[in-house]
Amino acid sequence: MNADFQQSWLAYTQFLDSALPIGGFSHSFGLETLVQEGIVQTPSELKLYLETMLRFNWSTLDALAVKAVYVYAPAGEWERLWQVDRMQHVQRSAAETREGVAKMGRRLHKLACSMYPELSWEPLTQAMNDRRCIGTHPLLHGWVVWQLGVPLTAAAEGYLYQCVLTGVNSGLRLMSLGQTEGQRLIASLLPAIRHAWSLAEALDPLEDGMSSTPQADLAMMRHETLYSRLFMS
């Protein structure tokens, strides 16, 4: 590992921290509904849920927004990048989820700007102000780590790892799941993260982005009608 990448990787690990104050701990993205309805009750069922989301949602939709930054930003193809962000925004079926991902993006933008003011924040900030770009969480993740010098594969797999971490942490609060068991679950899903990205990495961010998790999408929609909730979405 060369010195430049070592420095960027150390900076990147800070953005993968589950305690990063961007609101991820407030969102279960449908998992709370599935737990209350008895669909996800055991660690093995939680693992299956996370594997499904990795393969058919997070890698084929969100991680492609990370890739889009690496594809379009170096050439200054900003309108294509903003288009990916807008298209992905409307592909998220549940209103709670759309707003949650947008809120996390705005908070990451504010946080990263304060942490690294020397990075280039234009034209992203202007596009967000003009509402030409939503500024969702995966796009902001890509924007920050691209400028930190993190290679695309590490950036995409890191984003997927963060999704898994958020899912397991939600499971810890919703289910009979201990901390040790949660860490074992994360470790067992590391190969699934790499596999999911290997299947999606050749996809075109503009043409091929898609989600195929209808049960999870319906759970996200039903979340706002639950009698009691721990999570915002």
- pLDDT at residue 144 greater than cutoff 70: yes
Cα 19 to Cα 14: distance, rounded to the nearest angstrom: 9
- pLDDT at residue 6 greater than cutoff 60: no
- pLDDT at residue 123 greater than cutoff 50: yes
pTM as predicted: 0.94
Mean pLDDT taken over the chain: 93
Domains in the chain, start-ordered, CATH in brackets? 26-225 (1.10.4190.10)
- Tell me, what's the pLDDT at 27? 86
Helix axes 152-174, 3-15, angle to 10 degrees: 30
- Burial of 100-128, coded b for 16+ CB within 10 Å and e otherwise, reads bbbbbbbbbbebbeeeeeeeebebbeebb
Cα 62 to Cα 58: distance, rounded to the nearest angstrom: 5
Confidence bin at 18 (pLDDT 50/70/90):
confident
Cα 196 to Cα 193: distance, rounded to the nearest angstrom: 5
User: In this predicted model, what pLDDT tens digit does every residue of 172-223 receive, in sequence order?
Assistant: 999 999 999 999 999 999 999 999 999 999 999 999 999 999 999 999 999 9
Sign of the alpha-carbon torsion through 25, 102, 161, 200: positive
